[in-house]
Amino acid sequence: MESFNIPTGSKQEIYASLLPQVQAVMDEKADIIANMANMAAMLHETFGFWWTGFYRVIGGELVLGPFQGPLACTRIAYGRGVCGTAWKERRTVVVPDVEQFPGHIACSSASRSEIVVPVFQNGEVTAVLDIDSAELNTFDETDAECLERLVRGLEG
């Protein structure tokens, strides 16, 4: 599959249309890198985010995984930045204005707001989905709920 129907409409409608399309392209052997790569690509293309990608927990830190967008930092420590905070607190973190988030790691100065959603496997956080927007206040409860549902497709 090389293309998909890029959904339009309200944020809810877009996520509702995106979810089955993402599920449809999940690798049948559940290779996590393949699935993260397509999920990042579909989210990025649909919403036009600044940066969309994953960090995986490897050797006690977060290591850059599949992403779409500009160059990013390769490693993030536990509890550091928005990503490390979502990992430590085991919850989705919505940041309306990155300048107001103490310890935010600025991989790109164009990033203005951010959401980080943990991915769980067997009760442990094994990765995070990180999305950056070039606009303030991009993410809300709808994004949190829909992205949590979406990453469940990776949790196996």
Residues 74-93 that bind ligand SME (CB under 6 A): 76, 81-83
Residue 120 beta carbon to ligand SME: minimum distance, rounded to whole angstroms: 18
Q: Show the binding pattern over residues 46-65: x = contacts ligand SME (CB under 6 A), - = does not.
A: -----x--------------
H-run or E-run covering 44: helix 32-47
131 binds ligand SME (CB under 6 A): no
Task: Compute the half-sphere exposure of residue 60: CA atoms within 13 Å on the CB side of its CA.
Answer: 0
Sign of the CA dihedral with 99 first, then 100, 101, and 103 last:
positive
Q: How many residues sit in the footprint of ligand SME (CB under 6 A)?
A: 14
- Among the residue ranges 30-38, 104-112, 117-125, 141-149, the one whose residues contact ligand SME (CB under 6 A): 104-112
Largest Cα–Cα distance in the chain?
41
Residue 65 beta carbon to ligand SME: minimum distance, rounded to whole angstroms: 11
143 binds ligand SME (CB under 6 A): no
Q: Where are the beta strands (DSSP E) in the chain?
A: 51-58, 61-68, 75-77, 93-95, 113-121, 124-133
Pick the binder of ligand SME from 18, 57, 104, 113 (CB under 6 A): 104
- Cα–Cα distance between 45 and 52 in angstroms, integer? 10
**Residues of the shown chain interacting with ligand SME in the complex, contacts defined by CB under 6 A:** 51, 72-73, 76, 81-83, 104-105, 107, 111, 114, 130, 132
